[in-house]
Chains A and B, each alone.
Chain A
Amino acid sequence: KAGVTQTPRYLIKTRGQQVTLSCSPISGHRSVSWYQQTPGQGLQFLFEYFSETQRNKGNFPGRFSGRQFSNSRSEMNVSTLELGDSALYLCASSLNGGVSEKLFFGSGTQLSVL
């Protein structure tokens, strides 16, 4: 089984631009969650999608949004980029999204905002 795939691996943008990141979960997994990782801050939960519906949301501004398609693939969008948005964005998939389930992470998209 292929693992979780995130594209692109690296991205450089300038302030004010917007960006879209993509995540393909493991086949059969219906839940996709997104995390922001910055040095020393661990993984900050952004949101979780299950069956094309946002089921959970973290404490991030509305500039951060996402969606999930019928094949469970998910995209995350950040509009009006700020310098502080520079981070590694990780997505994780699980079978049904239960909080007790094992998460399978992708290698992430490293976003640099200049």
Chain B
Amino acid sequence: GQSLEQPSEVTAVEGAIVQINCTYQTSGFYGLSWYQQHDGGAPTFLSYNALDGLEETGRFSSFLSRSDSYGYLLLQELQMKDSASYFCAVAAMGRDDKIIFGKGTRLHILP
């Protein structure tokens, strides 16, 4: 089967760095994405990793290791506005290619 695991909640301090991990089980996939969703808002795209390694976009970075079936989202210089839920998603291969989302990680930021 196909599944993704990510922590349900993470707490960090404003100005610090936090890493949100995502492990997955899928027979084949094209890449790993991350989405951010604020309370009451729409999920918004953050990043996509098709290849192993680190992708950096401003304060956010995302990492993928296909051999370890593992990825993470790294948020630096945390701001209060980063309080949100973060979802990893795999672009899974199959009879019908589809995007499968994890259950999300709620990030709490303390002042």
Q: CB of B71 within 8 A of chain A? A: no
* A90 lies within 8 A of B43 (CB): yes
Contact with A along B71-111 (1 / 0, CB 8 A): 00000000000000001010110001111111110000000
Please indicate the chain B residues that have their CB under 8 angstroms from the CB of A40 in the complex: 8, 103
Once A41-B103, A42-B87, A100-B30 are accepted as A-B contacts, the answer to whether A55 and B43 lie under 8 Å apart by CB is: no
B35 to chain A, nearest CB (A): 8
Which residue of A has the minimal Cβ distance to B45?
A: A102
> Using a Cβ cutoff of 8 Å, how many contacts connect chains A and B?
59
Contact with A along B1-43 (1 / 0, CB 8 A): 0000000100000000000000000000011010100001111
Which residue of B has the minimal Cβ distance to A105?
A: B42
Pick from B31, B48, B96, B104: contact of A55, CB below 8 A.
Answer: B96
Complex Cα distance, B45 from A105, in Å, reads 9
Q: CB of A113 within 8 A of chain B? A: no
Which residue of A has the minimal Cβ distance to B85?
A: A42
Q: CB of A104 within 8 A of chain B? A: yes
A49 to chain B, nearest CB (A): 13
* B42 lies within 8 A of A106 (CB): yes
Once A105-B43, A107-B42 are accepted as A-B contacts, the answer to whether A100 and B91 lie under 8 Å apart by CB is: yes
Contact with B along A20-34 (1 / 0, CB 8 A): 000000000000010
Complex Cα distance, B14 from A17, in Å, reads 47
Please indicate the chain A residues that have their CB under 8 angstroms from the CB of B8 in the complex: 40
* B41 lies within 8 A of A107 (CB): yes
Contact with B along A84-114 (1 / 0, CB 8 A): 0000001010000011101111111000000
* A99 lies within 8 A of B30 (CB): yes
